[in-house]
Amino acid sequence: MFDQNELQFEMVQLLDENGNGDEKELESFSDEFLITMYRWMSKVRVIDERLLKMQRQGRIGTYAPFSGQEAAQIGSVLALRKDDWIFPSYREIAACLAHGLPLEQIFHYMRGRVIGKGMPDDLNIFPIQIIIGAQTLHATGCAWATKLKGETQVSVCYFGDGATSEGDFHEAMNFSSVYQVPVIFFCQNNHYAISVPVHKQMASRTIAQKALAYGMKGVLVDGNDALAVYKTMKQAVEAARKGEGPMLIEALTYRLGPHTTSDDPTKYRSVEEAEQWRWKKDPLHRLRVLLEKRGLWSDTDEEEWIVQVNDEVTVAYEKAIANEAGSLVEVFDYVYGIPSKLLQEQQQEVARRKQMEGVE
């Protein structure tokens, strides 16, 4: 008889909820790095809050907030090289921004512009995936391609706990392990897949332990501890780059807001639970405590930084709304890198009809 007690996963943690940790371990992080990490986490928190307000004001479309998950996203993406690939879902805006995506592009996407799904040529970021779990297959395919081509990039796939209930996740895990491709499956376990708690999705105690069934390493990390996430991801990426195969990382975190702006989280979780995570386990708080202990951050620094970020958001939004280019004809440009003959004919037909209608 199988006993779940045989599977023990100790959670990796460097900073506790009060910003305390082993001093020798923490000394390995430079002051400059800590400030950079905190600035990114604080920046994306401000951006997330602004985007949520903009949606309520009708200035952008449906939005999936990520506040509470800043440490998981920023801590992981800062461990990557700029030429590494990331495969985001709709909740990984923080990771995309830290990997180089312009904020203006986020607004194009949120406003439903044709160019919003495109990614700058100099960025290895796949288009934001809406279909739950589908990006796990894309990341595996990309990692396989880099291996076959003898390249050194690592592919990182971001997804939530709900995606582990999809067949795509299991297929990707199996394939990547069989072919030992350089891919990291990074699961942000925020406790609820839309409205379904983890215990109703699976009987296993952790998501990390699912890695064992596919012959790969699984790690459980405190997803609200940015330093622990960074260290864990750094080790995973280095191993994958050396040809040691894939890894599954479960970052235990919490979504403070709704699943999307069309969701009411009070229908499936208590206000007390959410407040406990907001005030007792905030990822920004524990890192800021460490900065303050080192004399690296103050209330004045915080206020000045928030003003600067808010200004950046306003400028990016104004640039985005000033460029509302895009038409049905251009949609065909975003299907394939090299369009098929049939696709070209369809595009030409649409262009011809629009010309007849007098529509540019």
**Tokens 């409205």 correspond to what residue?**
195
Token pair recorded at residue 40: 């990114």
The pLDDT > 70 percentage for the chain reads 97
What does the DSSP assignment read for 160-224?
Answer: EGGGGGSHHHHHHHHHHHHTT--EEEEEEE-SEETTEEGGGT-SSS-STTHHHHTTSEEEEEETT
Average pLDDT of the segment spanning 132-147: 97
Identify whether the C-beta of residue 125 lies closer than 8 Å to the C-beta of residue 96: yes
Our CA angle for 351, 355, 357, nearest 5°, is: 120
Identify whether the C-beta of residue 176 lies closer than 8 Å to the C-beta of residue 239: no
Identify whether the C-beta of residue 209 lies closer than 8 Å to the C-beta of residue 249: no
Identify whether the C-beta of residue 66 lies closer than 8 Å to the C-beta of residue 93: yes
- Alpha-carbon span 283 to 40, nearest angstrom: 12
How many CA atoms within 13 Å lie on the side-chain side of 164? 29
Residue 7 banded pLDDT, cuts 50, 70, 90: low
Token pair recorded at residue 260: 């999307």
Within a 10 A sphere around the Cβ of 51, how many other Cβ atoms? 24
Position 64: which residue type?
Answer: A
pLDDT at 9 over 70: yes
Helices and strands per DSSP (H, E), number in the chain: 14, 7
Catalytic residues: 255, 259, 268
pLDDT at 263 over 60: yes
Instruction: Tell me the sheet residues that pair with 158.
Output: 186
Our CA angle for 324, 327, 333, nearest 5°, is: 110
**Tokens 């951006």 correspond to what residue?**
47
Average pLDDT of the segment spanning 290-301: 96
Token pair recorded at residue 189: 């376990």
> Which of 20-29, 115-124, 274-283, 284-293 is predicted with the least confidence, judged by mean pLDDT?
115-124
Q: How far is CA 52 from CA 56, 129, 246, in A?
A: 6, 20, 35
The pLDDT tens digits of the residues spanning 203-256 come to 999 999 999 999 999 999 999 999 999 999 999 999 999 999 999 999 999 999
Of 353 and 251, more confident: 251
pLDDT at 146 over 80: yes
The per-residue pLDDT of the chain, averaged, comes to: 93
Domain boundaries, the chain: 9-325, 327-360
Answer positive or negative: Cα dihedral of 305, 64, 128, 236.
positive
> Which of 6-15, 89-98, 190-199, 201-210 is predicted with the least confidence, judged by mean pLDDT?
6-15
CATH top-level class of 9-325: alpha beta
